[in-house]
Amino acid sequence: MEDRLAAVKGMNDVLPPESGRLGRFLEVGRRLLVAHGYREIVTPIAEYTALFSRAVGEVTDLVEKEMYTFPDRDGRSLSLRPEGTAGAVRAYVQHAVHKAEPVTKWFYAGPMFRHERQQRGRYRQFHQIGAEVFGIAEPGVDAEMITMLVDLLSALGVPQARARVSSLGCAGCRPFFRERLTSFLRPRAADLCEDCRRRLDQNPLRLLDCKKEICATTRAGAPSTLDVLCAACRAHLDAVVADLAALSVPHQLDGTLVRGLDYYTRTAFEVHSDAAELGTQNTLVGGGRYDGLVEELGGPSVPAIGFAMGVERALLAIPAEPPPAAVDVFLVALGEPARRWAAARARSLRAAGLRVDLDHRGGSPKRQFRRADGLGARLVILVGDDELSRGTAALKDLRSGEQQELPQDALLAEISRRLSG
Ligand code: HAM
């Protein structure tokens, strides 16, 4: 295929059976979040670019290098969302949600777009399930969120999920950390990449997540945020860690943890899995507290915390099972009157909640049975002129090989009995 007619690099088609795995994953995720009192929001895929520069930070890889940004037909700069928090906070502020409720718990699931270097587990269009809680400053919610994530990943079948937790301080103590970090790095500037040298004055915290080897070596021994926390931030972090320990959640306090987005304050966390399939891309979830962002985007001063999980990455960590059957029941019809009867019966069985198909091309019973097999059907209803004239149909159980002729009005009860057995 001509290159320009193929899918965009890094933006993958998701076809069956993988699309089924993706759908089931999202379903389990949604169910768990609903069980924790979250409600779903849907925000646009594109936002004004200024929203991301303000929320995520002008001097971040995400905004400087990774966004899909383009002018719309009115000449305004739009960007495909690289993450979901900015849009969620924008919606929270725009609709003055704080006036209607003191605490808001939202989740979202959908595609995000980042023009990153491609590798296994890193794509340019990928899905996130994310959640945000507005209105709670207390550390209990931080620990509850981390606990929920570890539980969610294990419910989804991800092996060995464990959290790394840190604190990035607040508007009070962050400047001291910045100062310390800059004093440490400035004399070493010659051994930093060009981006980091530029960011040293603009946004020194971003130097901590530069992936280049030279920068990682230069940073060795740099101060940690944990060294500079004020008493309130220290108490907050201690309380989060104490809750996690009390709940026996596998976690590790890690002062080297930094996040690639500027909005975080206090608690920052990631959840990793040791599943071999993940290689270096083993961060399944990233999140943290962002107590200043609602105000920064024009809203009231409302504390908030959230996370996002990379769905494709989590799927890589889950052992693939054989794909489930596409249908429960397949109708094999011999002749046109039987096909028409089968079409009507398929409709009523579908209305009863069963997954049902038939082959409108007709053809030999052998060919139709082959199709039933291909779809993984457990039961086949077989009808021809004889059965129609008797008001019956044959029901064949493809698992046991048993076949019986039944009155047509007894079919549904027998199908249900067999499928539940
Ligand atoms: P993030 O750490 O940028 O955080 O992304 C969260 C997760 O999305 C990552 O841990 C990873 O699993 C997945 N992810 C990121 N980029 C890619 C990619 N190119 N390909 C595949 N998966 C990827 C956020 O997005 C924040 N909005 C999280 C948050 C919500 N913080 C507070 N509230």
pLDDT for 215-240, tens place per residue? Answer: 999 999 999 999 999 999 999 999 99
Q: How far apart are CA 346 and CA 351, in angstroms?
A: 8
281 CA distance to ligand 1 middle (Å):
11
What atom in ligand 1 is closest to the CA of residue 84?
27
Residue type, 281: Q
Instruction: Report the b/e string of 160-188 with b at 16+ CB within 10 A.
Output: ebebbbbbbbbeebbebbbebbeebbeeb
Nearest CA to ligand 1 atom 1: 286
Ligand 1 contact via 287 beta carbon (within 6 Å): yes
Ligand 1 contact via 145 beta carbon (within 6 Å): no
pTM above 0.85, yes or no: yes
Q: At 229, phi and psi to the nearest 5?
A: -65, 140
DSSP 333-386: E-SHHHHHHHHHHHHHHHHTT--EEE-TT---HHHHHHHHHHTT-SEEEEE-HH
211 burial level (CB within 10 Å; 0-12, 13-18, 19+): exposed
Would you state the pLDDT for residue 329? 98
Ligand 1 contact via 126 beta carbon (within 6 Å): yes
pLDDT at 136 over 90: yes
Other Cβ atoms less than 10 A from the Cβ of 239: the count is 16
pLDDT at 258 over 90: no
pLDDT at 387 over 90: yes
Mean pLDDT of 312-331: 93
Ligand 1 contact via 291 beta carbon (within 6 Å): no
Ligand 1 contact via 286 beta carbon (within 6 Å): yes
Would you state the pLDDT for residue 225? 93
Ligand 1 contact via 82 beta carbon (within 6 Å): no
Nearest CA to ligand 1 atom 14: 310
The two beta strands, 104-113 and 125-134, are: antiparallel
- Is residue 211 a contact partner of residue 61, using CB atoms and an 8 Å limit? no
Window from 12-16, 158-162, 374-378, 389-393 with minimum mean pLDDT: 158-162
Ligand 1 contact via 285 beta carbon (within 6 Å): yes
Ligand 1 contact via 115 beta carbon (within 6 Å): no
Other Cβ atoms less than 10 A from the Cβ of 252: the count is 13
pLDDT tens-digit readout, 366-377: 999 999 999 999
Q: How far apart are CA 418 and CA 421, in angstroms?
A: 5
Ligand 1 contact via 288 beta carbon (within 6 Å): yes
78 CA distance to ligand 1 middle (Å):
20
Q: List the alpha helices (DSSP H) in 85-206.
A: 85-94, 97-100, 139-155, 174-185, 194-202
pLDDT at 275 over 90: no
Domains defined along the chain, listed by start: 18-173+229-316 (3.30.930.10), 329-420 (3.40.50.800)
119 CA distance to ligand 1 middle (Å):
15
Residue type, 343: A
Helices 49-56/85-94 angle, 10° precision: 110
Q: At 155, phi and psi to the nearest 5?
A: -65, -30
